[in-house]
A and B are shown apart, each in its own frame.
Chain A
């Protein structure tokens, strides 16, 4: 899901939430009980990203989130918050490093711990970006989704875990395999979008739209499928396809009158991931990035008509996951590298030998610039992106590493905009692990 809500740094923390995880069995939600589906009702307002000060100033305040209600609990610390307590390994201020803290010498953002494992009805499939998390900023309860073959495993704040089957099957056709699922948070509504070998479906409380792909009658040498989902420009949902085309759907604030606004044809290889700008785009940097199997990245400015602003040619190595934040594209590749590109100029600004195997998931926390990466090598890494105000150089520091033993990670998502909590799933794993 695209987190378009970024809280201005100076705002006071909202509803105190001593729990930074979803406990099992799930307690009743704080707000009056809504519909039993995992999707919150339409009309949930999602504020747009506006940083009160300049983007750079916001980036230079890593310790702002100390005041966040999601402050990480140090080991041994009680629940209920220990604001102001100096003991233990609290979140370090700039220049102060808490003793006994494991982790890299540089970033020093504090460690994460494994908290809960949430059971899914079925195990997760090995697919890129195979975890979607819905965490509306005003409500702690979250919902999770991970694809298993032809169904989507859902875990909501209310009710038992359930499964949503892919549409597009019929009496004469076998059920298509799903490739990805993502919650798309638009200003007026939230849609759960699923892509499969047969098409694109979007669900609210009922089916909102179904778009069928041109699937040949007999299997051809190249598979046909849709893959890559993102909100764009607060009005559109973009979906990639195996032909390289990106479908742009215009979503009305309510109802099912969804139209295919445009088809963008710049990629020659199957699309892998799409991401919208989650912070503040600098001049000319565009607000959407699309990635494909060859590693090619396209930068777009969204609107009535989408404009291609730039294309970063790939080297043949698949870019499986991509994020865009304050004009920085973070891309994860099949060779385990993370690369940071300047969206405005297409210049490579950083190269990280991050993983020993294929990267499957990237996610970004817009409040802090934290980057999460998950790969087949069993590792999940947390990084910190920033920009030097003098040189304008992009910085990336390693913050934390988690090894999910004997698991090929296929989905990793932050569960809050500051990046204090995250969730992970892997191939053959029937759980979502929360940190």
Chain B
């Protein structure tokens, strides 16, 4: 029950999760050039992060949290005025995170370190390269149309789950307001100007967002959606007609599963969870109004929207820890061997059975 939490608990959970996420080794792994993760792999990592502290979530609440995160991120990536702005969105995320843990200098340092790495790795990319990144991310989000209450309320999402794309507002930095046609003669001298009008209603923005460690990002995408307490309802649509494409995605084995498990394993190894004083397994976060509602949601979630999550219990008991340590040992293999796709799947199944 969230109302039983104290501020100390809240701070504890925030610190644990953020320090796990910005763990140096974890970040090192993320910064390596790699393929887009499968939905299953990303969901598993997310699950693990959410359980990095004393907070617990049941499957249904976890699904809902993941839905919220995915749709919010899809919205941000889709609506970026320029492809380069996905970096500004990321900086907005980090700025908000720093706000949560500003009292812990060690964690703040971790986040700043990641910030610097982002600036170093991505600042020099061209617009075309950023667009390629964005196009690849959009492949991940394709066909996801889960309705999010606050998006519906803010008229940012339609009732069919698709996002509203405004045809008014500031144009991206570097783009001109549509309307002008300029004609040049063979000497390059402008000889004529004409205009055309459309339904759009745009204006020139005042300034560009900052890509420095500190600065005004200008862009609002990526800022904290829940800075004021807001409802967390999501509406999961019935079976979508894109069942064919989704089913296909689930059946193609991802041979990179092995790689994903390697850094997941490091994540597991790097954790250092203290048992709470009361000896109980921590606090459970329920994103629904009642336990019954949560249970019902778990049972009625449409099959095609099931994430087929790999369930990894947070290690609290020593017996479990030993078991995982053994698995850890098995997982630390040096080179990926071609044709070992089967083994990757086996390892995922192994963790499933924990």
Beta-carbon contact of B165 and A378 below 8 Å = yes
Q: Does A262 contact B (CB under 8 A)?
A: no
Beta-carbon contact of A396 and B181 below 8 Å = yes
- The interface size bin for chain A is 35 or more
- The interface size bin for chain B is 35 or more
Q: Does A249 contact B (CB under 8 A)?
A: no
* Stretch from A61-69, A122-130, A231-239 contacting the other chain: A122-130
C-alpha spacing A299/B171, complex, angstroms: 32
Interface centre among B81, B183, B197, B244 (most CB of A within 10 A): B183
Beta-carbon contact of B174 and A127 below 8 Å = no
Beta-carbon contact of B131 and A334 below 8 Å = yes
Interface positions of A from 389 to 410, Cβ below 8 Å from B: 391-398, 401, 403, 405-408
Q: Does A210 contact B (CB under 8 A)?
A: no
Residues of B with C-beta under 8 A to A354: 178
Beta-carbon contact of B174 and A408 below 8 Å = no
Q: Does B332 contact A (CB under 8 A)?
A: no
CB 8 Å contact bits of A156-190 with B (1 = contact, 0 = none): 00000001000000011111010000000000000
Interface positions of B from 29 to 86, Cβ below 8 Å from A: 32-35, 78, 81-83
Beta-carbon contact of A357 and B142 below 8 Å = no
- Given A172-B255, A348-B184, A357-B81, CB of A219 within 8 Å of CB of B142: no
Q: Does A57 contact B (CB under 8 A)?
A: no
Residues of A with C-beta under 8 A to B184: 347-351
Beta-carbon contact of A406 and B78 below 8 Å = no
Q: Does A121 contact B (CB under 8 A)?
A: yes
Residues of B with C-beta under 8 A to A173: 255
Beta-carbon contact of B178 and A317 below 8 Å = no
CB 8 Å contact bits of A185-208 with B (1 = contact, 0 = none): 000000000000000000000000
- Given A269-B126, A357-B175, CB of A352 within 8 Å of CB of B135: no
Q: Does B191 contact A (CB under 8 A)?
A: yes
Q: Does B8 contact A (CB under 8 A)?
A: no
Q: Does A377 contact B (CB under 8 A)?
A: yes
Beta-carbon contact of A125 and B196 below 8 Å = no
C-alpha spacing A186/B256, complex, angstroms: 40
Residues of B with C-beta under 8 A to A336: 171, 175-176, 178
Q: Does B316 contact A (CB under 8 A)?
A: no
CB proximity of A352 to chain B, nearest CB, Å: 5
Q: Does A272 contact B (CB under 8 A)?
A: yes
Beta-carbon contact of A427 and B176 below 8 Å = no
Beta-carbon contact of B178 and A356 below 8 Å = yes
Q: Does B128 contact A (CB under 8 A)?
A: yes
Beta-carbon contact of A123 and B188 below 8 Å = no
A sample of 13 more A-B contacts (CB under 8 A), given A174-B256, A219-B32, is A121-B244, A125-B139, A126-B135, A127-B135, A151-B245, A172-B340, A317-B127, A335-B176, A348-B184, A356-B171, A403-B198, A406-B165, A430-B241
Residues of A within 8 A of B (CB): 104, 106, 121-123, 125-127, 148-149, 151, 163, 171-175, 177, 218-223, 269-270, 272, 293-294, 316-318, 334-337, 342, 345, 347-358, 377-379, 381, 391-398, 401, 403, 405-408, 427-428, 430
Residues of B within 8 A of A (CB): 32-35, 78, 81-83, 126-129, 131-132, 134-136, 138-139, 142-143, 145, 158, 162-165, 167, 171-172, 174-186, 188, 191-192, 194, 196-200, 202, 241-242, 244-245, 248, 252, 254-256, 338-341
